[in-house]
Amino acid sequence: MTDSTARVPALRRADLSEQRLKRRYAAEKRFRFYGLAAIFAALAILGLLIGTIVLNGHTAFVQTHLEIPVFLDPEVIDPEGNGDPGALRRADYQGLLKKSLRERFPDVSGRRDRIKLYGILSNGAGLDLRAEVQADPSIIGTNQTIWVKSSDDIDSLVKGYIDRDLPEGDRRVKDNEIAWIDALEADGGVEKQFNTTFFTAGDSREPEQAGIWGAAVGSFFTLMITLILSFPIGVLSAIYLEEFAPKNRWTDLIEVNINNLAAVPSIIFGLLGLAVFLGVFGFPRSAPLVGGMVLALMTLPTIIIAARAALKAVPPSIREAALGVGASRLQVVTHHVLPLALPGIMTGTIIGMAQALGETAPLLMIGMVAFIVDVPGGVTDPATVLPVQIFLWADAPERAFVEKTNGAIMVLLAFLILMNALAVLLRKRFERQW
Amino acid sequence: MNSFILIAILLTLATIGYSFGQRRARKVSGGEPSTLHSRPQYYGLYVALWCGIPSLILMAIWLIVEPQVAEWMLISNLPEDIQALPADRLSLLINDVKNLASGNIVSREIDGALQRAADGYASARQIGNAAMVVVAIAIAVIGLGFAQRHITPTLRARNLFERAVSVLMIAASTIAVLTTLGIVLSLLFEAMRFFAQVPWYEFLFGLSWSPQTALRVDQVGGSGAFGAVPLFAGTLMITLIAMCVAVPIGLFSAIYMSEYAPPRMRAIVKPLLEILAGVPTVVYGFFAALTVAPFIRRTGESIGLDVSSESALAAGMVMGIMIIPFISSLSDDVMNAVPRALRDGAFALGATKSETIKQVIFPAALPGIVGSLLLAMSRAIGETMIVVMAAGLAANLTADPLEAVTTVTVQIVTLLVGDQEFDSAKTLAAFALGLVLFAITLTLNVIALHVVRRYREKYD
């Protein structure tokens, strides 16, 4: 400021001031442009993130199936001929499919090539056939054409993830396999069908047999425990701090504590869970019970802060009116304040649950990273959760798991969007201006 | 599952107690509820509390204590020579016995003594569980009967109930404090055990990190080095890269949103930006490892640079994207809170909008903005999944962002994931790292919250 006053005479010249004004306006425009550019950049990155995931992930929802004509040989399936369910379960269905493949491509000879030929089918293809037979045993002894899953490499080939123009040595799928698939395709025997396995199966080492159901159930159990623990505790402490607590050192301490807990890195909660829940109390490893407890401690601050804000938004006149007609302080809260604050509390809770659903790091600490094929049946069974499943698949070497990972991310994001949309809806629907 | 059924039974009993109490209260009032001290529901609640709370508390204690008692019984029943085994061998054996008892596959030969021990353990657990069910239900029923009998028209049931609820509320609100206490104590305790094996100055100032501990005494390279400086340097570098991405984008979007954007654009863009904070970090990690890192690598190669496939740059940039909303959202709020009068004063002097922002609003909002930056930074330091998936494991002490570095959080995860014995220096080191991480983020948070609060008070 001081040096500009020293140059006062220059300032007064009309031509200079016009130039200066131009410069200032240009600076203004530039500044504004930076702001827009920043927002645009952030949104573009968001778009890129979602875009790459959807682009690479949408194919996870379909799976290449091959049409195989197969003779359901009673000698193999039901040698006793009495329709014993045990025999039906144990029969070598994969062998039947292999035989059909041999008949379809009679000129394939030699052990190596035969194994390659069988390899175009998934190891689980026999299970598809078995399901078919178990559903209707009367088809035993007839010729059927059924659709079975292809192996993951063939799936990648059909979906176009494998470049056919590469030299054969650099490709996971060799020339003869491509020839077989092309031959099948020419007969209309190759089709991409909806991938039910992806939504109904647990984890697997074989990409085409791996699904997210196990992880989804694990996530569900974990979130249930989190909700059961953190919602009542969070609401009770919010009510206490907002409505009852005297202003003293102790309540100040609790407040500061809650604010700081909200910003503690999530992995620290994992360490707490490992040292206390597993180390001291001896709870089972990898269990949704412990995962839910750790996540409950983590989401507690979110819920408390949201619930306090919601309680604070209820005008004091409501409380005074209730007290005036003789309600006790607890009655004021339970009959009047809490019902009015409930939508806000629910919104905060849903947002906290969404955070918990996406959390990975603390669950790694308490051993929820194990490879688990079975779908968990309870909160103490070993389980994994969706984000951890994504983490595990992201590390898997098979090409086909990339697409599964993206698919699982899409499912997870869909859940998160759904939960957040619900929160927004609740807020919109019940928001009150006092 | 057993305990869940028990909880369900206890809750059912409590519900029954509620209706019993209510009915009883109506009865003792002689058909005139107005002669009661409290409304009949409160007598019901009073009975339900007596029925539910003691039995649930007993059940919780039982669940925590019983396995330890069973284990103690198991050890004291084992033959003398097995009891004399060193602690770690004994704990392995006990694990096997427990596995055997629950019908799992066991890694060792099963002999008669082991099988007997397992059977004894299984039956002890079974008896314990059955006893818990019986005792808990008995206590619930006794509580129900006791409270039921106590109901008289003069019983101050509402006051008693309200006192119980306020005790419950106080208990609930101390859980937050207990959590912090639990974090501090468990980290301190395990870290102390670590520092008993590795001196703290070596940990804090040592330049080499290779956390292997010898399995055998004569193992090559088994000494292990626990100098954490490379991890701190790696964390700092990735955080700095993240801030370099997030600060300009975050601040400029905050400025545009609070000062320029029309309300309709604000209403659309602000939630969109907040999506960035809601995306799970594992998704960012996947994005960094599969999209950003290869992209940086290819770009680097095309201009002749040798880029590691797990470069700090990729992890840092993606982390920067993640923390954009933390900066933009809080800074936006802070700038909106600058009083209108300051703005109007600047405009009245003929300042353009950008001059007003740069010379009036920004300085006025600076404390709050600094607070938001500190919070974002603490978020970046504590972030785990992005660096686990996209940054390396090798503890390089380097200033080159194109090389692979490792961070505190990555090392915590790699040290603790997988099967390890609980008291090796390797696993304990993770807790020491956790302690450092907690201390740093806590300091940043406390400063940030303090600054923001001071700032709010200034303009409120």
* pLDDT tens by residue, B261-275: 999 998 899 888 888
Q: Do residue A240 and residue B170 have CB atoms under 8 angstroms apart?
A: yes
Residues of B in contact with A34 (CB under 8 A): 252
* pLDDT, greater one: A12 or A426: A426
Whether A1 has a pLDDT exceeding 50, the answer reads no
Of B205, B199, B195, nearest to B233 by C-alpha is B205
Please tell me which of the candidates B162, B248, B383 has its beta carbon nearest to residue A38: B248
Q: What is the pLDDT of residue A226?
A: 96
- The per-residue pLDDT for range A234-254, each reduced to its tens digit, is 999 999 999 998 888 888 888
Contact B405, B338 (CB under 8 A): no
**What does each C-alpha distance from B447 to A144, A259, A282, B338, B432 come to in angstroms?**
73, 12, 37, 21, 23
In angstroms, rounded to a whole number, what is the distance separating the alpha carbons of residues A392 and A401? 10
What's the half-sphere exposure (Cβ side, CA atoms, 13 Å) at B222?
A: 9
Q: What is the pLDDT of residue A238?
A: 94
CB neighbour class for A203 (10 Å; exposed up to 12, middle 13-18, buried from 19): buried
Residues of B in contact with A11 (CB under 8 A): none
Q: Do residue A240 and residue B250 have CB atoms under 8 angstroms apart?
A: no
Side by side, the strands of the sheet bearing A62-71 are: A143-149, A62-71, A190-194
In angstroms, rounded to a whole number, what is the distance separating the alpha carbons of residues A65 and A121? 9
Q: What is the pLDDT of residue B420?
A: 58
- The per-residue pLDDT for range B372-409, each reduced to its tens digit, is 999 999 999 999 999 999 987 878 888 888 888 899 99
Contact B276, A41 (CB under 8 A): no
CB neighbour class for B331 (10 Å; exposed up to 12, middle 13-18, buried from 19): buried
Q: What is the pLDDT of residue B316?
A: 94
Q: Do residue A405 and residue B416 have CB atoms under 8 angstroms apart?
A: no
Lowest mean pLDDT among B11-20, B118-127, B313-322: B118-127
Question: With pLDDT > 90 as the criterion, what percentage of chain B qualifies?
Answer: 36
Q: List the structure tokens of A249.
A: 């050192």
Whether A380 has a pLDDT exceeding 90, the answer reads no
Q: Do residue A263 and residue B255 have CB atoms under 8 angstroms apart?
A: no
**Which fold would CATH assign to domain A213-430?**
MetI-like fold (1.10.3720)
Average pLDDT over every residue of A304-332 = 93
Q: What is the pLDDT of residue B346?
A: 93
Reduce the DSSP state of residue A192 to 3 states and report it: strand
Please tell me which of the candidates B166, B280, B437 has its beta carbon nearest to residue A268: B437
Confidence of residue A85 (pLDDT cuts 50, 70, 90): confident
Whether A5 has a pLDDT exceeding 80, the answer reads no
Encode B85-97: b = buried (16+ Cβ within 10 Å), e = exposed: eeeeeeeebbebb
Residues of A in contact with B354 (CB under 8 A): 27-28, 30-32
Of B380, B432, B107, B61, nearest to B240 by C-alpha is B380
Contact A159, A21 (CB under 8 A): no
Whether B90 has a pLDDT exceeding 60, the answer reads yes
Q: Do residue B283 and residue A390 have CB atoms under 8 angstroms apart?
A: yes
* pLDDT, greater one: A322 or A14: A322
Q: What is the pLDDT of residue B222?
A: 52
Whether B6 has a pLDDT exceeding 60, the answer reads yes
Q: Where are the beta strands (DSSP E) in A47-175?
A: 62-71, 143-149
The answer to whether residue B53 neighbours chain A at the CB level (below 8 Å) is: no
**What does each C-alpha distance from B391 to A175, A269, B233, B298, B378 come to in angstroms?**
37, 22, 13, 17, 18
Q: List the structure tokens of A276.
A: 């206390």
DSSP assigned state of A262: T
Q: List the structure tokens of A200.
A: 């109904």
- Residue at token pair 């037979």: A133
Q: In DSSP terms, which residues pair with A68 in a beta bridge?
A: A146
Q: Do residue B384 and residue A265 have CB atoms under 8 angstroms apart?
A: yes
Residues of A in contact with B279 (CB under 8 A): 49, 358, 413, 416
Q: What is the pLDDT of residue A149?
A: 87
What DSSP line would sit under B25-86, residue for residue? Answer: HHHHTTT-GGGSSS-HHHHHHHHHHHHHHHHHHHHHHHHHHHHHHHHHHHHHHS-HHHHTS-
Question: With pLDDT > 70 as the criterion, what percentage of chain A qualifies?
Answer: 97
User: What is the enclosing helix (H) or strand (E) of B226?
Assistant: strand B225-226
Please tell me which of the candidates A32, A281, A359 has its beta carbon nearest to residue B354: A32
* pLDDT, greater one: B1 or B173: B173
Residues of B in contact with A329 (CB under 8 A): 162
Q: What is the pLDDT of residue A54?
A: 93
Please tell me which of the candidates B175, B259, B441 has its beta carbon nearest to residue A300: B175
The answer to whether residue B262 neighbours chain A at the CB level (below 8 Å) is: no
**What does each C-alpha distance from B132 to B4, B63, B128 come to in angstroms?**
13, 9, 6
- The per-residue pLDDT for range A88-143, each reduced to its tens digit, is 777 888 888 888 888 888 888 888 888 888 888 888 888 888 888 888 878 888 88
CA distance, residue A61 to nearest chain B CA (Å): 18
Interface test with B, best of A36, A212, A240, A267 (most B CBs within 10 A): A267
Q: Do residue A266 and residue B321 have CB atoms under 8 angstroms apart?
A: no
Of A218, A349, A348, A233, nearest to A291 by C-alpha is A218
The answer to whether residue B362 neighbours chain A at the CB level (below 8 Å) is: no
Please tell me which of the candidates A43, A265, A394 has its beta carbon nearest to residue B389: A394
Q: In chain B, whose CA is at the least distance from the CA of A407? A: B283
**Between the ranges A179-193, B56-70, B208-222, B287-301, where is the mean pLDDT highest?**
B287-301
Q: Where are the beta strands (DSSP E) in A175-276?
A: 190-194
Q: Which CATH number fits domain B225-459: 1.10.1040.10, 1.10.3720.10, 3.40.50.2300, 1.20.1600.10?
A: 1.10.3720.10
Residues of B in contact with A368 (CB under 8 A): none
pTM of the model: 0.88
Please tell me which of the candidates A28, A257, A360 has its beta carbon nearest to residue B282: A360
Q: Do residue A328 and residue B158 have CB atoms under 8 angstroms apart?
A: yes
B394: which residues sit within 8 A by CB, 6+ positions away? Answer: B404, B405, B406
What's the half-sphere exposure (Cβ side, CA atoms, 13 Å) at B337?
A: 20
* ipTM for the complex shown: 0.89
The answer to whether residue B393 neighbours chain A at the CB level (below 8 Å) is: no
* pLDDT, greater one: B426 or B248: B248
Residues of A in contact with B385 (CB under 8 A): 360-361, 387, 391
Q: In chain B, whose CA is at the least distance from the CA of A371? A: B418
CB pairs < 8 Å spanning A and B: 252
Q: Do residue A369 and residue B182 have CB atoms under 8 angstroms apart?
A: no
Q: In chain B, whose CA is at the least distance from the CA of A356? A: B280
The answer to whether residue B175 neighbours chain A at the CB level (below 8 Å) is: yes
Cα angle value A279/A284/A287 (rounded, 5°):
120
Residues of B in contact with A257 (CB under 8 A): 176-177, 180
CA distance, residue B334 to nearest chain A CA (Å): 17
Please tell me which of the candidates A30, A38, A271 has its beta carbon nearest to residue B434: A271
- Per-window interface: B 61-90 vs A, CB < 8 A: 64, 67-68
Residues of chain A with CATH 1.10.3720.10: 213-430
**Beta carbons within 10 angstroms of residue B47's beta carbon:** 31
Query: Domain coordinates of chain B in residue numbers?
Result: 2-155, 225-459
Please tell me which of the candidates B272, B279, B357 has its beta carbon nearest to residue A43: B272
Whether B359 has a pLDDT exceeding 60, the answer reads yes
